[in-house]
Amino acid sequence: MNFYTDDKTIIACSTGTQSNTAIAVLRLSGFKNLIDLQKFFSFDLSKTINRKSHLTNIIFEDKIFDNGLLVFFPEGGSYTGENVLELSIHGNQLNIQRILELFVNHGDCRSAAPGEFTYRALKNKKLSLSQVEGLDMLLNANSSLMLSQGLDILQGDLHAQYLALYDAYLKLKAAVEISIDFSEDVGVEETQKLFQDSFAKFFKLISSLKTRTEGNISSLLSPEIVLVGQTNAGKSSLFNILLKHDRSIVSNIAGTTRDYVSEVIHIDGTNFKLVDTAGIRESSDVIENIGIDRAMNILSRSFYKILIVNPYETNAQYLAKFTDVDFDFLVVSHSDKSDFDSQVSTVDFSKIKTKNIAKANFNSLEGGSIGPLTILGPMGPLMDSGSIGPDSKTAGPIEPNSKNLGPIEPDFAKTGPIEPVEKSVSPMKNEKEGSADSKNSAQILKSGSIEPSSKNPAPIEPKLEKSSSNSQSGPIGPGPVGPHPNSEKVAPIGPKNENQSGPTGPIEPVLKSHIIKKFDISTANNPILLERHRDVINKIYSKSIEFSSNINEIDDVAILSSEVNILGHSLTELIGIVSPDDVLNSIFANFCIGK
């Protein structure tokens, strides 16, 4: 803004000028005497009671412009520190503009610049710089976190902590001044103790603030939920479902979305920016490639990352593009197709890192459906093949004798689960008892590792059953076994049957609950959001650490005073200017110098 230095009366509508409202508030500030405005009011301004509402007509040259209330705030007791008059009038935009023009044209006023009332409050020391920043955050917040912190900086807990830090600095500064001017009266040991105690209190307060600046908060100020995936994965459909209206174009033609589309959605008191990105694929189209590049850039900075995969059109080469991304949710689409499960089993998801996995279909804007999905991956580490048990020559390979072997599962009904073998127990195949499928064999599998018998080193193979199906599992060896290795949650998101638990059903509430849960966890320590505050706090903390390590080595009080002043320079960036009078007041308030 342009900082005006004149002392003219300024006027503006404080309640917005975008649409008609029941009531609008006009604010005038900077006039010398209230009585100078008498020509605009039917009420006798000499009878005005400070901070009390008075009913009046707004008039000029015997013409009534409106009927409303006026409230007078005298100089020193107003928002700006100047004489302020607030008028509550009818909120029709034509009426607001007409009355503003009346005062500008006939009242020696000018229209206020954006933020000028607050600038005058800062200039007149009614607000500190940090409070102005808190007010800005309060007025422009897009989440309950920013709203609360803006109020905290303006007049709440955070503002109180800043004031406490300021007060601790004054005491630290005062202790140094006492060491210089009054050490003989107070005593060397007493002045040293006073200084050390003052610094300890200051350091405790700055350390507490420092903990609230740790971590990356850039994605919390305007949190983005980004949907990525290949063309025809269902991103635009999911985008519309979360918005609850058709915003993105949905088509069977690949590459419909060539640039990102964004809208704001409101979840539990926080505004999130929902972004539908261009489908990611190899393309020779220059414009489409620009959209794909933008999609990857947005993904890298987003708060919540959702990968949508169409198992019918994906491949390992495509999924390899995302190996460095930590996704919050992997959604495998088209789950309504009859061969979905068998199709999913052909896709290698092992390189995708995600916290949640689910299958979904997007058949209706009313919600589609989402449910559990156990994605299979390699057994153990992300390797193509390997052996079960210790990495030694005695351990047998995980390989079948033929390609047509059954699923990688023990027959629990006959053998019990495969578990490690104790050293004192025979290997998996017991010569006296017969095969590993016997009851005795099932009972002895208690501890140790699965290794081939020294007398019969054949590979471990499951027993074939006529009714066995390998549509969703494969032979022992390279191939899918067990839950997805890079998912933090082993259990699926929702039930497949009554014996399972977890949310399932419409997509929108399930995803939104996961999104707000992450946001709540990310903001649990109430991080300081203003970047300037974070930078200054870290600067003060670093200087305090350096000062603390050198404090015992400084014998010259003048150098000590200089070091404390350096701390003060950084502190003034956070909360305002420290004046010598403040230091003197602190000294005489705490110590009986004249005694």
Give kind and range of the element (H or E) at residue 70.
strand 63-73
Positions at the binding site:
27, 86, 126, 232-237, 251-257, 276-279, 595
User: Checking DSSP bridges between strand 326-327 and strand 224-229, what pairing results, if any?
Assistant: unpaired
User: Checking DSSP bridges between strand 270-276 and strand 109-111, what pairing results, if any?
Assistant: unpaired
Report pLDDT for 130. 84
Positions at the binding site for (6S)-5-formyl-5,6,7,8-tetrahydrofolate:
27, 86, 126, 595
User: Which of 163, 31, 175 is closest to 103 using CA atoms?
Assistant: 31
Report pLDDT for 422. 44
Positions at the binding site for Mg(2+):
236, 257
Backbone angles phi, psi at 22, to 5 degrees: -65, -45
- pTM for this entry: 0.62
Q: What's the 3-state SS for 274-338?
A: EEECCCCCCCCCHHHHHHHHHHHHHHHHCCEEEEEECCCCCCHHHHHHHCCCEECEEEECCCCCC
For residues 102 and 93, give the distance between their C-alpha atoms in angstroms, rounded to a whole number: 14
Positions at the binding site for K(+):
232, 251, 253, 256
Q: Which two tokens mark 567?
A: 């701390």
Q: What is the mean pLDDT of each run of 10 residues along the chain (595 residues)?
A: 72 88 95 95 97 97 95 95 96 95 93 90 88 87 85 84 90 81 65 85 94 84 88 84 66 48 88 81 55 75 91 82 89 90 89 89 64 53 35 43 46 46 42 44 42 48 44 43 50 37 68 92 88 90 86 70 82 64 42 29
For residue 65, the SS3 value is strand
Report pLDDT for 191. 75
Tens digits of residue pLDDT in 544-582:
988 887 776 666 667 777 888 888 888 887 875 544 444
Beta bridge partners of 357: 330
Beta-strand runs (E) in 122-245: 224-229
Report pLDDT for 406. 47
Cα dihedral 328, 332, 335, 337 in deg (nearest 10): 170
Positions at the binding site for GTP:
232-237, 251-257, 276-279
Question: Any alpha helices (H) in 399-506, and if so which ranges?
Answer: 412-415, 439-444
Please check whether residue 19 is in contact with residue 92, taking contact to mean a CB–CB distance below 8 angstroms: no
Tens digits of residue pLDDT in 114-138:
888 999 998 898 988 888 888 888 8
Cβ-count burial 42-74 (b if 16+ within 10 Å, e if not): ebebeebeeeeebebebbbeeeeebebbbbbbe
